């Protein structure tokens, strides 16, 4: 009887531990089990070098969404952004690819605009700025082609 009780307690302890680990993995990985309260915007860039799916989208240094998908549309890179509901982005917004630190991760910085009309789900941010390719700048400097 005591052995069965001990096995039951150990089994419950292990189950609670597995549930806690799963919860932490979801929270730390910033995964979404349900669709979330997001709307999607698109932006086309000449280069998205270094930007990855799941990168943060920020306005004034505050995370307001995530990069959902990066693909190729004709000869340009198309980025799909998931923006939190309640965050207003206007059609005169500017999307820029930035880097944290010198060799840090890439993220998307939005200047939300304000003079135009509000962008709705699936619409496109027209003004974009591709990130600086550090390898290209260093290569130009080394080979003497910097002007």
User: Structure pTM?
Assistant: 0.67
Task: Give the start-end residues of each E strand in the chain.
Answer: 38-45, 56-59, 62-73, 76-84, 94-99, 106-111, 124-125, 127-129
pLDDT recorded at residue 27:
73
Question: Which comes out higher in pLDDT, residue 69 or 102?
Answer: 69
Question: Which comes out higher in pLDDT, residue 45 or 101?
Answer: 45
79 to each of 13, 43, 123, how far by Cα in Å?
44, 5, 12
**pLDDT above 90 (res 32):** no
Report the DSSP pairing between strands 106-111 and 76-84: unpaired
60-74 pLDDT, tens digit per residue, is: 989 999 999 999 988
Q: Could you tell me if 127 and 43 are in contact, meaning their C-beta atoms sit under 8 angstroms apart?
A: no
Q: Could you tell me if 83 and 66 are in contact, meaning their C-beta atoms sit under 8 angstroms apart?
A: no
Q: Could you tell me if 81 and 55 are in contact, meaning their C-beta atoms sit under 8 angstroms apart?
A: no
Q: What is the total residue count of the chain?
A: 147
Q: What's the whole-number average pLDDT of the chain? A: 83
Task: Give me the residue spans of the domains in the chain.
Answer: 1-31, 38-140
Task: State the pLDDT confidence band at 58, using cuts at 50, 70 and 90.
Answer: very high
């Amino acid at each position: 009887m005591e052995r069965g009780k001990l096995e039951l307690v150990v089994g419950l302890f292990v189950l609670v531990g597995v549930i806690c680990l799963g919860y932490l993995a979801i929270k730390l990985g910033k995964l979404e089990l349900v669709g979330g309260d997001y709307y999607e915007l698109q932006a086309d860039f000449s280069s998205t070098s270094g930007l990855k799916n799941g990168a943060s989208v920020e306005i004034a240094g505050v995370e307001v969404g995530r990069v959902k998908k990066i693909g190729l549309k004709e000869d340009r890179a198309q980025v799909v952004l998931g923006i939190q509901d309640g965050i207003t982005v206007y059609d005169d917004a500017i999307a820029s690819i930035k880097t944290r630190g010198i060799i840090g991760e890439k993220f998307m910085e939005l200047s939300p605009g304000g003079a135009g009309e509000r962008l709705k789900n699936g619409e496109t941010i027209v003004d974009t700025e591709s990130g600086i390719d550090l390898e290209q700048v260093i290569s130009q400097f080394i080979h003497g082609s910097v002007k």
